[in-house]
Chains A and B, each alone.
Chain A
């Protein structure tokens, strides 16, 4: 049986892992290679490296970071943050990424999804959606959450799938870094609307939050950062908890 995946996210700025609350107040969380090594030993299923500054100067630092992480783990590695063109994606994949995560650039020009899916296969293309509750629905935000894209998250996820995306990484901006739990309603709404896997992100604080997002939220995978970085909880303890609660995981 296909297991539910636990994914660790490394938000990287200038070669170091940082973590904020609701996309603000960044604090230092460690060296990317070291964190990746620890998570691998603990049984993480996948690692995502997000370049959260993505300036031109940080580009070369990013390639070094991808390389450093790829040396440590033999697990799927996704790279995102500032991937705007086919060349940016090729650079990340050449440095050792298996998948790229597109956000702002995909909304601005969805044909980039198709271009990359044709070149690398859909399995290599993740569309990341940062969304907030707006009335009864869920609104999409871009540019690291600073700009309202005036799009509905469910509708955009469907379109991303039809353009060739292989997975959706759905982040609740309301919950990001708060440890208040995943937004299960939003995750279920998107998961029901598409046939590709949905990775839930934003809000992980306790082990029960993961159980919730895999049951009520109908997520295929869950991504977290803070809960793992500061060694508050280990990945292996989380997975044992999930298995006890009937969620299939790799142990």
Chain B
């Protein structure tokens, strides 16, 4: 059973609806002990990084220890940003810190009419690895590079080693990260039509039996 974490940040209804449509077994836990027993954890979210302050303390500890034990974790939008050390948007709030780096404000470019917030459908550019034996990132099964997904955000993660897809706006940022059992997507799979549902379906395949 997937634990879908409710910390009062926005898109819980939409994520719940998408998981229901996919036939996923999930719960919105009222207490942190469910994290240790789940088959996977999803941290949704949309809006200001300060909202993740509600996760500091008990939830952060429970999620960190589940992830250290191999539990698959998916962060969506603000939930992805929370996987990092912190964000310039709310420097006083600590992130989970399972992926190193800092969330920074997106750049705009008035001459090219590229605005912030970055709102709308943009492409996922898969970052192919040339390493021998490199495998397709697990969230991208049955999905072509260049797939269009729906974004709405003003802050984003830098392109680091964990970046498996990037997206170009005025600057290029990490739109999907993967490290071991931890995944993050900057866009909204629950609002990205069939491509988004495929990514959620791929995460459901990763969950523990």
A92 to chain B, nearest CB (A): 11
Which of B46, B153, B190 interacts with A74 by CB under 8 Å?
Answer: B190
Look across to chain A and name the residue whose beta carbon is closest to the beta carbon of B45: A121
Complex contact A74–B191 (CB within 8 A) = yes
Pull 17 A–B residue pairs with CB atoms less than 8 Å apart, ordered by A.
A2-B114, A5-B120, A45-B150, A73-B193, A74-B14, A74-B191, A75-B150, A93-B10, A96-B14, A122-B154, A124-B10, A166-B152, A195-B110, A195-B116, A197-B120, A220-B115, A220-B120
Chain A residues with CB under 8 Å of B119's CB are 123, 166-167, 197, 220
Q: Which of B13, B17, B18, B122 contacts A93 (CB 8 A)?
A: B13
* Given A5-B121, A250-B148, A123-B115 contact (CB < 8 Å): no
Secondary structure type dominating chain A contacts: loop
> Closest CB of chain B to A220's CB: distance in Å?
7
Shortest CB-to-CB span from A18 to chain B, Å, is: 26
Say yes or no: is B93 at the interface (Cβ < 8 Å to chain A).
Answer: no
CA distance in complex: A76, B10 (Å): 13
Which residues of chain B in 137-163 are interfacial with respect to chain A, using CB atoms and an 8 Å cutoff?
Answer: 148, 150, 152-154
> B115 CB to closest chain A CB, in angstroms?
5
Do B120 and A121 touch across chains, with their CB atoms under 8 A apart? no
A3 close to B21 (CB less than 8 A) = no
CB distance from A245 to the nearest CB of B (A): 17
Residue of A nearest to B191 (CB): A76
Closest to A195 in B: B115
Contacts of B120 in A (CB 8 A): 2-5, 45, 197, 220-221
Known pairs A2-B114, A2-B122, A250-B121; A120 contacts B17 (CB<8 A): no
**Chain B residue with Cβ nearest A191:** B113
Q: B46 and A1: CB pair below 8 A?
A: no
Asked whether any CB of chain B lies closer than 8 Å to the CB of A14, the reply is: no
The reply to whether the CB of B48 lies closer than 8 angstroms to some CB of chain A is: yes
Q: How many angstroms from the CA of A121 to the CA of B44 in the assembled complex?
A: 14
Which chain A residues numbered 213 to 246 have a C-beta less than 8 Å away from chain B? 218, 220-221
Contact A74–B197 (Cβ < 8 Å): yes
Distance in angstroms from B150 CB to nearest chain A CB is 6
- B32 an interface residue at 8 Å Cβ cutoff? no
Enumerate chain B residues within 8 angstroms of A40, measured Cβ to Cβ.
193
Question: Which residues on B sit within 8 Å (CB–CB) of A121?
Answer: 10, 46-48
CB-based contact B148/A196 at 8 Å: no
Q: Give 4 A-B pairs besides A70-B17, A98-B14 with Cβ atoms closer than 8 angstroms.
A: A76-B152, A95-B13, A196-B117, A220-B119
Nearest 7 CB-CB pairs, A to B?
A: A121-B47, A123-B152, A250-B148, A250-B121, A3-B121, A2-B122, A5-B120
Asked if residues B121 and A195 are in contact (CB atoms below 8 Å), the reply is no
